[in-house]
Amino acid sequence: MTTDQSTSAIEILRYDARYREQSMDVLRKAFFQQEIVCIGSEVNKMPQAQKDLEQLCIDVADGGVSMIARDTLTDTIVGVSFNLLQTPSGPEDANYFEVFRDTKCTTDSSRALMQYMITMDAKVNLFERFGVSCLLELMFLGTLPNYAGKGIATRLVEESVQLAENLKSGNATPATIGNGPNTFPKPQLVSALFTSRISQRVGEKVGFKVVNQVPHSEFIYKGKTFSDRAGPEHPFSTLVVKHI
């Protein structure tokens, strides 16, 4: 377990490629093993599926709006929030997750997880419902198990929302743009899919509002529902938003 001293030394910062391997390690030890839909789609048992989704996160991180939590005493990454700026796709165009599912997923397991995300997103068109042209989506959120319960996920979400606000106001740019032209899409909304009561409580603390709630029994992988594999403790996913 972490000490109180190390917990107080946690800083939240923008993702930096120097910490790529450590950030992937958080995914391997936390998100892929504990995330409800990773259990439901058996990503937790499939190393190749995890590699597929690591590539998704590397691609997303290149967008310059992801956040990481660093223990300054050990220079260790202990939490991640892989975020991306989303804009509406055309009526005939596949969206970002559909393209990744069809071109980069090499296993049924990773495709099932991507299909879950696609299905959830399709249930409510956030762009139309809220009249926005860009949103910041919190895609994958995780904290190392021995740092759990210390409020790190909450801080990652809070700082992600603050980044969205700064992007909207022009006080920040995606990290990859640097000092270049200020032409990136500016978010007007922050969204997330929270799949456990733990992450759902984080959303509640930060002021997210529930837009949709879907039982995990609705999603099936290889003849079993996500609920069959993950159990009854976290029975549903919520699509949540926060206006900025």
Buried b (16+ CB within 10 A) or exposed e, 179-203: eeeeebebbbbbbbbbbbebbbebb
Handedness of CA 46, 47, 51, 56 (dihedral sign): positive
**Per-domain residue ranges for the chain?**
10-171+184-243
**Residue at token pair 């992600």:** 160
Distance CA(228)–CA(230), nearest Å, equals: 6
Distance CA(20)–CA(23), nearest Å, equals: 5
Chosen CATH of 10-171+184-243 out of 3.40.630.30, 2.40.70.10, 2.40.37.10, 3.30.160.270: 3.40.630.30
Residues 153, 199: contact at Cβ < 8 Å? yes
Q: What is the pLDDT of residue 101?
A: 98
Can you give the pTM of this predicted structure?
0.93
pLDDT in tens, the chain (244 residues): 333 444 679 999 999 999 999 999 999 999 999 999 999 999 999 999 999 999 999 999 999 999 999 999 999 999 999 999 999 988 778 899 999 999 999 999 999 999 999 999 999 999 999 999 999 999 999 999 999 999 999 999 999 999 999 999 999 999 765 545 557 889 999 999 999 999 999 999 999 999 999 999 999 999 999 999 999 999 999 999 999 9
Q: What is the pLDDT of residue 182?
A: 59
Residues 119, 215: contact at Cβ < 8 Å? no
Distance CA(49)–CA(112), nearest Å, equals: 10
Indicate the pairing of strand 209-215 with strand 236-243. Answer: antiparallel
Q: What is the pLDDT of residue 4?
A: 40
Q: What is the pLDDT of residue 90?
A: 81
Residue 51 is inside which H or E element, if any?
A: helix 47-61
Q: What is the pLDDT of residue 59?
A: 96
Q: How many alpha carbons lie under 13 Å from residue 13 in its C-beta half-sphere?
A: 16
Tokens of 74: 């050990």
